[in-house]
Amino acid sequence: MIPTNPATPAALTQLSPDERLFRDTVRQFAAAEIAPLVRSMDESQQMDPKLLRQLFSLGLMGIEIPEQFGGAAGTFFEAILAVEEISAVDPAVGVLVDVQNTLCINALIRWANEEQKQRYLPRFAVDTIGAYALSEARSGSDAFALETRATPQGDSYVLNGQKLWITNAKEAGLFIVFATIDRAAGYKGITAFLVEKDTPGFTLGKKEDKLGIRASSTCELIFRDCVLPSSQVLGEPGKGYKIAIETLNEGRIGIGAQMLGLAQGAWQHAIRWARERKQFGKPIGDFQAMQFQLAEMATDIEAARLLVYNAARLKDARQPYLKEAAMAKYFASQVAERVASLAVEVFGGSGFVKDFPVEKFYRDAKIGKIYEGTSFMQLATIAKLIL
């Protein structure tokens, strides 16, 4: 019979008391406030406004923002813990928190000038959601094949083009937009801009109807003669490629945490079902075949957790972490899809209907192998670094 109190995964014992308290606080919040909304948000394909306010109130939308700007002054590792715990309940909310913290806020902390930090970081801490706009129709894995143009015009730039598959787009108040100011310069012409949602010439296009993480908005962005003052350049002109590369490396650890949390959530539901569901007069967890399947799932999850935590610790310690981030993202996304699939099988026919949560975890898992660098791109990065 499966034990009623499975041992705490070894990686969690490495948390400091403050980290453990933070993790437990997020876990309790997710169970109490997010869990009751999961199905309704998935079906309506939108975030609950009250939940968004709660995420800000709890400080989860500004974890690494320094106290002087109204943030929690936390660590990158704490942001990863938050994404993991929230994703164990709803990966759609997990990616909202992830993009805010690991991409947008990290980009501003590292690359924004003092005036930009004073203007935007306090808003990120209180009520403004960020979005990261890099992808285009012809610019996916080939991230720098950008066609969106920013034409210099006096002390301003005029943006024209489209962005696709932009996470958080519907809710966002500030977008980090990548465009080229000189196509002949190749990747050295790419520049990052800070674009507010009400900027003339900027509109939201189609909202995607997705397989999974449906409460997370994914939209097209349209720029038609969108004029931006040069003060809205993030970093320096022509340095956008460097910003993109560095922030995406961090973001991949965040996606690893999202997929880790997803796998953990699916596994926990499978464990409960194995204890409760009876066949042939006893719980299905009493059968060795089921025990072995659940044991393999648990082992995969623990291995993914160690990879994700290690990459996050390296980042906080300012040690090289590119290879470790790629490994964490690659492996965690593989584990999430495998564990979610097996969880559906543990539930049997019940796992195939929306009345039970594992069906949604299975749909949500697929995106992990695709966004912020496909599995093939992660393997390419790993191979390059080890060779």
Catalytic residues: 372
Residue closest to 169 by CA, chosen among 199, 137, 205: 205
The 3-state secondary structure of 166-188, one letter per residue: EECCCCCCEEEEEEECCHHHHHH
Cβ atoms of 282 and 302 closer than 8 Å:
no
3-state secondary structure of 282: strand
Angle between helices 91-98 and 49-57 (to 10 degrees): 50
What one-letter code names the amino acid at 156?
Answer: S
Q: Phi first, then psi: give them for residue 215, nearest 5 degrees.
A: -70, -20
CA dihedral 187, 188, 189, 192 (to 10 degrees): 90
What phi, psi does 73 have (nearest 5°)? 55, 40
Among candidates 126, 125, 127, 146, which has minimal Cα distance to 137?
146
Q: What are 269's two structure tokens?
A: 């539901």
| Residue 160 buriedness (CB in 10 A; 0-12 / 13-18 / 19+) | middle
Nearest Cα to 328, choosing from 386, 383, 254? 254
- The DSSP call for residue 232 is G
DSSP secondary structure of 103-128: IIIHHHHHH--HHHHHHHHHHHHHT-
- What separation in angstroms does the CA of 204 have from each of 72, 120, 224? 31, 21, 11
Cβ(76)–Cβ(250) below 8 Å: yes
